[in-house]
Structure 1
Amino acid sequence: MTEQEQDGQEWIGGKHPVMEALRSGREINKIWIAEQAQKHAIQPIIAEAKKAGIIVQFVDKRKLDGMVEGIQHQGIVAQAAAHRYYEVDELIERARDSGEMPFLLLLDEIEDPHNLGSILRTAECTGVHGVIIPKRRAASLTATVSKTSAGAVEYVPVARVTNMAQTIDKLKEAGIWIAGADVSAQQDVFSSRSFDMPLAVIIGNESKGIGRLIREKCDFLVKLPMHGSLNSLNASVAAGVLMYEVVRQRRSH
């Protein structure tokens, strides 16, 4: 658990993530801007912060480096209330209320925050109604995830669960089909059964893939065809291909 999560605060670094946090109405306590920052780049953020009554302070860039170590903050850092995680029931309800066919994403122990951020960014672009992650042995919503997601973290609801297997059972009870992305699958995703149904797609861990128990709970498994010498794709790339295949199939019906 990060220090920011412990005291109910979180740091956001970067122009896009801070702007999206402001636009989404996220509770922001204060914004720091580097004195060396280019005026034209920061003006929209200052205007948005002023509208929301948020304090903006100009400081030396080195202070920002210390606030969000390892993050490319682009001269802008915000301190916000920690992200609210949703309940699985809320995600199901959100999907139903949208008037669209439910489309959820389950991430089985994705550990790299950059992968999680990239997946959330594509999930926002493809209309995913919610993402479910486990509480243990997995990346959570941190400043790195926020930066990599380019602000998508403000718009895609994320549920954090203790037991992924029980969560799958709950989704099945709600009439949602479970598709697992797995290299052992008999059928590839482009010749598979239709994704034009209430659906949750499971993406596995970067090195181990989907856990055995989770794999057994899937209604069906799909794999991406591999033609090169390598036999695997980066988890966020694989997730992106699958999400867009769901979109493609649904649009063509």
Structure 2
Amino acid sequence: MAKRGDKKALRGRAGRMQGGRGSGRGTQGHVRLWGRHAVEAALMNPRRQHRKLWATREGIDSLDGELPPDFPVEYAAVTDLARLVSRDAPHQGLVLECEPLDDLHLDDVLDGDSPRPIVVLDQVTDPHNVGAILRSAAAFDAVAIVTQDRHAPPESGVVAKSASGALEVVPWVRVVNLARALDEMAEAGYWRIGLAGEAESGFAEALPAGPVALVLGAEGEGLRHNIAQHCDALARLPISERMESLNVSNAAAIALYAAAMRT
């Protein structure tokens, strides 16, 4: 495969990963991704099946690698690309149409022997927040994120752009019943901490030395009562009384950092 300088070769059309499926797709049909980081990460991902790339020549040149000779590329003007994506989306001269990633089972990611955390999102529906949480999960080496299939955004260009490539590297498990999934995590050896502003315990005191599942609820509503009951502890982040709460993606980043800094 040809290379440009010392850049890595992009994988082009990758075979789909074989194996078990989860509770159902979060996305039906194809997915359009845009922006250099999101598109480049998808092109490098062997679990992706790519359909077509629309790009400006500058966009192609910005990629850290070279496409195979037979890769389906259609060169287009910036204004033409803008019609393929959400309004005012920063496509950076690259729009990739591909198949959604295969679903995963929770059993595929549970590893009670690892100190790496799992992030559990209880009805966090904003795709920008989910994308930002994926990015933090990748930065702090989380095992996976887990969401309910009906109350989470689908795989999309907005999620991928906000994740800045992390959508391709952090496993995203969708489950039918989040409470049951938390029970399975406990059986696998994870200590489940729900982040709640009204909790009496501080997060540092509640954080164990071993495997941990960090459970975060939607902004405003917070954790649902049933999900809080399936946590081993509820804890709050030490923020100033001048602020009622943090954005859920910021809270996730702080919790992941604290988990990563354990000795």
1:55 aligned residue: 72
| Secondary structure, aligned partner of 1:50 | coil
Q: Which runs of 5+ in 1 are unaligned?
A: none
Select 1:30's aligned residue among 48, 52, 55.
Answer: 52
Equivalent residue, structure 2, for 1:239: 252
In the other structure, the counterpart of 1:146 is 160
CA distance in 1, matches of 2:85, 2:259: 36
Question: Counterpart in 1 of 2:18?
Answer: none
Which of 189, 195, 204 is the equivalent residue of 1:181?
A: 195
Q: Deviations over 1:24-56 (max 9, x none)?
A: 22221111113xx53xx53253843226x4221
Coordinate RMSD, CA, aligned: 1.9
Looking at structure 1, the residues matched to 109 and 66 of structure 2 have their Cα atoms a distance apart, in angstroms, of 29
Local SS of the residue matching 2:201: coil
The alpha carbon displacement at 1:140 in A equals 2.6
Distance 1:174 1:46, change over 3 A: closer
Aligned match of 1:229: 242
Report the alpha carbon displacement of residue 228 of structure 1 after superposing the two structures with TM. 4.4
Equivalent of residue 101 in structure 2, options 79, 83, 88: 83
1-structure distance, mates of 2:74, 2:35:
15
- TM-score normalised per structure 2: 0.84
Supply the AA of the counterpart residue of 2:78: K
Q: Percent identity of the aligned residues?
A: 29
Give 4+ residue runs of structure 1 displaced > 4 Å after superposition. none
1:60, distance to aligned residue in structure 2 (A) = 2.4
- Bigger proportion of residues as helix: 1
Query: Which runs of structure 2 are paired with 1:119-158 in the superposition (5 Å)?
Result: 119-158=133-172
Give CA-to-partner distance per residue, 1:179-227, whole Å, 9 cap, x none: 100112111113x134321111101111100000000111011101221
Q: Is the 8 A contact 1:102 1:176 kept in 2?
A: no
User: 1:66-215, aligned counterparts within 5 Å?
Assistant: 66-70=83-87, 71-92=89-110, 95=111, 100-190=114-204, 192-215=205-228
Alpha-carbon separation, structure 1, partners of 2:194 and 2:260? 17
The one-character-per-residue Cα deviations of 1:127-156 (angstroms, maximum 9, x if unpaired) are 101110111222232110001100100000
Distance in 1 (alpha carbons) for counterparts of 2:64 and 2:227: 46
CA distance in 2, matches of 1:107, 1:46: 33
1:210-252 per-position Cα deviation (integer Å, ceiling 9, x unaligned): 0000001110111012214221101000000000000111xxx
TM-score scaled by structure 1? 0.87
Whether the aligned pair in 2 keeps the contact of 1:10 and 1:143 (CA below 8 Å) is yes
